[in-house]
Each structure stands twice: as C-alpha cells, then as structure tokens.
Structure 1
C-alpha cells in the first residue's frame, strides 16, 4: 500500500525519502536509500510507517531519532495501534490512517484517527496528505477506525466479489465472459457515478426510480433481497471484518 500511496503523494511539494532495501522503480523526485544508515543525520517532519505489522517492533524504534521537533509519525500499518507505536518510538506523536485499495488510482477512502500526542497541525497535514489519494473520513478513536476498516478498508473486496458473482450470473444467462464483465462493470460504474452526483437522490429513492411495480427490476430485487437476506449478509460481513480488526489491534 505504501508504494500505491507514494504515486499519489508525489503531487505535493514535499521532499520524500524512501528507505527500502528492495525497492527499485519509484516515481521521479523521490530519494531512495536502501538502509537507515544512509539517513542517520537527517530529520523528517513526517515519518510514514509503511511496513508489515509484524516488522514494526524491529524496525520503527530506531526511526524515533529521525523525527524532527514538532514532527509526527503517520502509520498505515494495519492491526497495530497508534498507542503501541507511540510507546515504541519514545512517545512520538502518531496519526493512524487506513486507506483502501483504490487509493492507488486516487479514488480511495481513507479513515484517519489521532493517536497519542497528535496535534491539530498533525491532523491537518495527515488529512491533506491522504486526500491526494481520494476522500477521507476523520474519526476520534481507533475503535471507530476499526469500523472504517470494516466498511471502507475491506470494502473493495466485497465489491469485487459482488461484481464477480454478478458477472457469473450474467454468463449463466448466455453471455460470454467479456460481455458479462463489460455489462456488469459498466452498470455498476454508471450507477455509482449517478449516485455520486451532488444533486442525486438518496440511495433508496434512486432504487425506487428504476423499479416499476410488477416490472423486471421489481422481480429481480425481490429475488435479491425480498427476504432481507442480502441486508442480513452484509450486516454480518461488516461485523466479521470489524471483529477481526479489533483482534488484530
């Protein structure tokens, strides 16, 4: 996720340094070093913790010395609390964010939460930074951020699975794979674009606007969610994702 976000972050005026022994193909204007020893004397206003959670304990403590006075740590590490990270880095201010996959193309949704010692200036910077990759929602606790994770962080996976099942059903209606994919993605994309218009009605009204009594859409919707089966399944989906996020933290 760090590499995906980097492609959006470079649109600003900041000087960005990446420490990664494995990276090679980074956007222009980014300084790449392979080891922290190459930045020992440098101080940074924002240090992004973009490593796997199981590696944080071994990697991040040393970087406390690289944090400039007044700076903060922006964590995109899933399953690692801001409180734990702040303590690990000697009480450093931490802001935690949870982006989702479409951030890679500037269409993501990122939850942002202040951690220990984070100031309003830190939050303002973090929000602006993450908005380069899409929209943001700021919450006041990591518990709420776990709920953002369940809805938005994991959300693309749900959408892809729904689209896959939708396309599979279209194939069963006699269309080939390419035709089914084009129709399904075009329909979903068009409907989402319409619902996202500033003047759009609420989602229930939009659904009703294409549902004539006794018509084909009404018949399909009755099969889809007439018994509230879809609604029940989605409630269970979000709850399961939230419960797992809490376990990981």
Structure 2
C-alpha cells in the first residue's frame, strides 16, 4: 500500500478546488477530485496527471445522498483510507446582489443543499475512512460573507454586501465546523473553516481580485497539518492566531 497521504477535494474540476488539488499533488499527496460532471472531472484529472500529479476522479454530487454513498463505496474499495477532506463545492444563485427580502426561498434552499448540507453529507459518509487515518483533517471552504461579526461591522468591506441567502449558508457551515471540531477533537481529527477571500472564479463571473492559487494556499496549509495543527478555527491567509477570521 502506498505511504502517500490521500486527499479528497469536492468541486475540484475547476477554480479553487482544482488549484488545491494541484498544490497538494505537488506536495506528494494522492488527490481525488470529487466532481459532479464526469467529463469535466476526467479533463481536470488528465491536466493534473500531465504535470506528474497522482490524480483520480470520483464522480460525486454533494447535493445527492445516493451519489455521495456511491462515491464513498468506490473510494473505500480503491483507496481505503482518507487523510484529508476538503469540502470546497459551492454555488451562488440569484444573480446580482439583491435585497435579502427579495431573494427567493427556492434559491436559498438550493444553496443550502450544496453549500451547507453538502459538506455534512460528505463528511458523515467519509468519516469512517477519515478515522482510519493517523491524523485526519477536514477543511470547510467558507467565506467572509459568512462572518456575522463582519456583516455587522460598519467598517467592514462587506457591510453593504448583498447575497443574504449565500451568506447564511456559509454562516451555518461555520457553526457546523465548530460543532464537528469539538465532537471530533478526542479522536484527533482536525476541523477548520477557511475564508479564501474574494477570488476570481465562475461563482462571481471572475470579478474577484485574488487568484485561485492564492486562495488555495491557506486551504492546503491547513490540510497539510498533523495532529498538532489547529482545530475549530476560521482562517484567512495563514493558520496563526492573528490570521483567525472573526466568526
């Protein structure tokens, strides 16, 4: 059996997820790309393999319980153990920022299925495999928009931001991160959330000012820590105390 650590990244066929897979692969990890679209996933895997990364495709729709279960079964059969789980897949619906009183509940429900319940589906399904690792890590990709502290700070850049439904999905994800961190602490499993910053991706029509490589860096940094690493934190550009993001 290979001694290389194994990482699974959801939503990894493009953007921050693909950048994180590449960076982990360059550090010697075996990376599994959790992708809803098999064709796009195969293309991403081929791209990584052409650069020497040990990459594999796992067809996975985080909003579909049956898809997650099937993916877990395939992963267990082919890999057996999981060291790092990065819950990166996410969506934003509703177009331009609108008043939360004007957002549709249907859009909010769809975003919660992917952005909040999706990470929980995947985490619960793959937890038995994470427990086989000597130092498992879970990283939740959140957002500064999920920070209630920043939202209520008149000096914060997001004071006037819209996207109420999307923001709520990330706030809820932050709470689940904290709950998981406390529950899994006795088992040595580290659970943290990351704010990647306003990154140029399909999610925002590439309007963000950060590159996907920069956004992926802090995700990979947290993913690479062992049992001595932090847990129960919300980080941005580093894992130290001064880089903790306000909940």
Bucket of the pairwise TM-score, normalised by the shorter protein: 0.3 to 0.5
Q: TM-score, normalised by structure 2?
A: 0.42
Q: Which has the higher helix share?
A: 1
Q: Which fold has the larger relative contact order, with Cα–Cα distance below 8 Å and residues 6 or more apart in sequence?
A: 2
Q: Which has the larger radius of gyration?
A: 1
What is the TM-score of this pair, normalised by structure 1?
0.42
